[in-house]
Structure 1
Amino acid sequence: MHGANSSSLSPRYFILNGIPGLEAAHVWISLPFCLMYFVAVMGNCGLIYLIIHEEPLHRPMYYFLALLSLTDVSGCTSFVPNMLCIFWFSLKEIDFNACLVQMFFIHMLTGMESGVLMLMALDRYVAICYPLRYSTILTNTVIARVGLATFTRSVLLITPFMFLIKRLPYCRGNLIHHTYCDHMAVAKLSCGNIKINAIYGLIVAIFIGGFDMVCISMSYIMIVRAVVNLSSADARHKAFSTCTSHICAIVITYVPAFFNFFTHRFGGHTIPHHIHIFIANLYLLLPPTLNPIVYGVKTKQIREGVIKLFYREKDILSVR
């Protein structure tokens, strides 16, 4: 087999084919993806810088937002540069171990993003339902611990993917019809039994996505109950307004994720393969692109921080 070790049936490298059937349009397709990646990197890095340097943003809500931004920029960086190399320079070869590393980071950071959104929902629950105890419940130590627990959960659940992929014999070639090393896209090249891969992938998706969605839903049910009981209409409006950015982030993240999940498993042959690839890329790239914009537009403190930082930098330049 081309690029394979005949003794172990393990390939030395894979060929990432990009978007099958649209190879002639790769350069044009790359332009919106490149623009989205630029916006995602600049927006998320800008948010992290702002939260670090602005004292009014040193609060649990914004610490979680900084963690979300770090996860987002790391997630899209794990695959977009390599995808652009495929589109622009036809650099389609990827080492077997490099493919495993990319697979690990893509799936781990996706799980991490879901976990951070859950933590942000719990943050809004504490802020609205227990406002007087907010600062004592969500201390810096607690934030660090729950952030570490979310990271550890994602690492522990995704690591078995690497062993499940390495155990398989590959005798169906080494051409992956995808822009990055997706777990099942790689597993389908094997001539071995991949039922365990499929079942474990479903378990992880349910355990991370399903569990987090249940926690988010329960948090917002209790938030709605608490807000409805407020006597002042202004107080209700203010309470709901603090949640709008997070609700937008949830919709931006979970709608493409579940659409990708269900079309991939139940769409069958009714949805063209290149549509699956488009959805898979948007699912990873859309949230990092839109989250900084949503929080910048919807959150007053961030808008004020941007203006303050802008004028501060302007004053420094004028002094020079």
Structure 2
Amino acid sequence: MPLAPLFVHPLPAAPAFTGRAAESEALRLFWQGDEGVISLVGLGGAGKTALAQHFIEWLLANDPPDALFEWSFYDEPDANAFLQTAYSYITGGRMIDAKGAGWFHLLKEALSDGGRYLLVLDGLERVQRQQTDAGGIYGELEDPLLRGFLTRIASGLGKTKAIITSRFPVSDVEKWRGRGYALLDVDVLAPDAARRLLRSHGVEGDDELLDRLTAVYGRHALTCDLLGGAVARFYASHPLRVLSEDEPEDELRNPQEVRLKQVLRLYEEHLPPRELALLCRLCIFRFGVDAAALESIFLGPGKESIAGALSSATTEDL
């Protein structure tokens, strides 16, 4: 009997999901094919999680699995907790006294019964090595049980499949590439998708002009989204006004992190002090927060130590 999906750490949806037709099709083919693991790899803000969430919505509406389990290692990097929670979910709440490798073997057995199971592992970079050193290689999973678990799925574990989002390729399953494992690079949007995202903010101009804009700032999803908002608000939706301030640079001299910084500087230079102060403080939250939470933090007791330019703000301002 199919299980209701369990989103232990619900994935945040993109406010304006656009494009990604090729990537979405690759995920559909992955679900219908024989490979067990696929990684969505890209910089932070590239849209990995939004793409995974978009695919999940399609999947639940068109071809739901027997069970769908989502876990964010960004929110909870404990691999043992992941294995234990996944086992309890797949078995319908079964409670067993086990530790460490015990959960690995129990979950592996539970997933081998032929059910169409999908595991979504978000933010895997939190438990990967970020460099090669004496302790291991770049992209390697730090937990041996999690490493063995993903390797087992890639090599074949019933009909179980796993979608990973990470900033780094998962080196542990690279040897299964093309025969159980696939990697999908989602670093940049396609040119037409980047143009649509800019236009969704009201940015004006023909394709050639918008391509000039993305030549300066890149087609990284978060950068394009923020850029569209900045051009619309601070430059009356006219790209030429912002292009007059920046000329295209060689990408090797201007990596995407620098381009994003350039866009954020537009907000820093043009926002009123109070709005800028609020934006800076909102950056500490991974997910959106409501006005009540902001009011309790910035207008409540002890606000003097953190309020800054918001010291005279009212509930309406927030």
The interval holding the TM-score normalised by the smaller chain is: under 0.3
Q: Which has the higher helix share?
A: 1
Structure 2 length-normalised TM: 0.23
More strand by share: 2
TM-score by length of 1: 0.23
Which has the higher relative contact order, 1 or 2, with Cα contacts under 8 A spaced 6 or more apart? 1
